[in-house]
Homo-oligomer: A and B are copies of this chain.
Amino acid sequence: MPENLAISHSWPELRSVLTSIVGEQNCLFDPQEIAPYCEDWRQVHKGSTPAVVRPACTDEVASLVRMCAQRRIPIVPQGGNTSLVDGATPSAEGNEIVLSLSRMNKVRDLDLVNLTLTVEAGITLKAAQEAALAEDCMLPLSMGSEGSAQIGGALSTNAGGNNTVRYGNARDLVLGLEVVLPDAEIWNGLRRLRKDNTGYCLRQLFVGAEGTLGIITAAVLKLVPRPHDVAVAFCAVPSEQAALDLFMLCRGRHYNSIQAFEYMCGPGIDLVLKHIPGTQFPLAKPAGHYALVELADYSPHAGLREKLEDVLGNAMDAGLLQDAVLAGSSAERASLWRLREEQSEAQKREAASVKNDISVPVSKVAEFLVRAGAACECQFPGVRVIPYGHMGDGNIHFNLLPAPGVGNSTFLKQTEAIMDAVNEVVRQLDGSFSAEHGIGRVKPYMMEEWRGGAELATMRRIKAALDPLGIMNPGKVLPGEPTL
């Protein structure tokens, strides 16, 4: 029995209320069943909760919130639990209830003329994508975790991913939301309108709020026609600046079809080839820097392969490109993409890493890579700088691994110092310390320094106005929230 809850509540009574709302089989009390809901994806944080509740519908979510508000019990909304900043797990104190949206996973509507998809929050990103593809449309939100990440979480964290360079972040794809507010009222804002100027834009407040202002239960998302011609190239480039120049060239020539432009470095590719079975190096010889370019068009006759070959030929003439390979089939495309998508997993298998999910203006991204790399190598001799990421968005996952021979725990003691060194460069280049992963429980301490003053004060005012009891995902996003 959870001690903290026992202080203020009658546990048997609470247990019976929870089961009365969602049914016995949808309340988990067994520690073993509960455990996966309490640990974050990176396995760094272990929380504790007396109960995981799995409502089936919006009304059940509202009943749960009402019950919790009456008793001042904090709620942690949880989707696929793939947060990289520990945004979806309960605290270690054991006084927060986990509300899993997994059972709310229906497609409510797909409108081919309006190009919108209405889904419940607990549907996985992949299932939502497949619902769109079945109607020859595409939901243009894609990321490594899409098999388990759920729409509610993707919206609550304003997920980015691989197609952002063309379609924007999750925020840019949302037309409407349904949200259970902290006072248990249901806001039905599931509007499917391309234009609607009727007061404050609440949906954009809940998107990216990481569940601290309410629980997203359903959403209306924009779709685009499904691409029928896709061309992918894996390129060796001589420098960070050449990678950026190559992006500029591809974007300038094919603004309408460039769908991804990803950066990788030599050591990052080496780690993938070392640790990920079945991966192959597709070029004749290794290079210091790589870029993955993807073009896509709705017409099957867009001739993108020839267009990509052509622009890469120009890049070679201009000295921006050392070598490149174009995928000749969808299997080859997948194989080239694996070299990018397995970067994180390969690093995980190699050693512990210090991760920096940063962004700078696109115009500064090459300079950032050079300067942040030099700063780290100077301040932490031997450290392995292994950045990769969405260069076309100015978003780099600037990761570092320990010097050869240095153990993980020794290395991780330098985490804050390394992050400081990286962030110093980010700051000088007008960048952000969290590009797409959000704040969660890991980064609230950085908010005061980066967003302090008028901005953080305004966020706190909004939090206090919408969630005066502080029951919504406490300890996330905002630093030093009053504890209950």
In the complex the two chains form, is A359's CB within 8 Å of B435's CB? no
Any B CB within 8 A of the CB of A54? no
Which of these, B114, B189, B437, B477, contacts A361 with CB under 8 Å?
B114
Q: In the bound complex, how far is the Cα of B302 from the Cα of A297, in angstroms?
A: 14
Q: Which residues of B contact A393 (CB under 8 A)?
A: 194-195
Which of these, B197, B225, B432, contacts A439 with CB under 8 Å?
B197
The stretch of A157-165, A264-272, A331-339 in contact with B is A157-165
A214 to chain B: closest CB distance in Å? Answer: 9
Q: Which residues of B contact A465 (CB under 8 A)?
A: 461-462, 464-465
Any B CB within 8 A of the CB of A171? yes
Q: Which residues of B contact A188 (CB under 8 A)?
A: 454
In the complex the two chains form, is B192's CB within 8 Å of A361's CB? yes
Q: In the bound complex, how far is the Cα of B171 from the Cα of A348, in angstroms?
A: 39
This chain's copy number in the assembly: 2
A466 with B461, Cβ < 8 A, contacts A195-B359, A200-B208, A208-B201 known: yes
Q: In the bound complex, how far is the Cα of B19 from the Cα of A181, in angstroms?
A: 46
Q: Which residues of B contact A199 (CB under 8 A)?
A: 208, 439, 447, 451, 455-456, 459, 477-478
In the complex the two chains form, is A433's CB within 8 Å of B198's CB? yes
Any B CB within 8 A of the CB of A434? yes
Which of these, B157, B298, B438, B439, contacts A256 with CB under 8 Å?
B298
Q: Which residues of B contact A455 (CB under 8 A)?
A: 187, 189, 199, 202
Any B CB within 8 A of the CB of A255? yes
Any B CB within 8 A of the CB of A390? yes
Contact with B along A172-199 (1 / 0, CB 8 A): 1000000001000111110111111111
Q: In the bound complex, how far is the Cα of B453 from the Cα of A413, in angstroms?
A: 51
Contact with B along A244-257 (1 / 0, CB 8 A): 10001000100111
17 new A-B contacts at CB < 8 Å, known A193-B394, A195-B393: A160-B197, A165-B194, A171-B201, A188-B454, A192-B430, A196-B359, A197-B434, A197-B437, A198-B434, A199-B439, A199-B447, A199-B455, A199-B456, A200-B458, A200-B477, A201-B205, A201-B207
What 10 A-B pairs are tightest by C-beta distance, nearest first? A204-B204, A113-B363, A465-B465, A185-B454, A195-B435, A196-B432, A187-B454, A461-B465, A256-B256, A194-B393
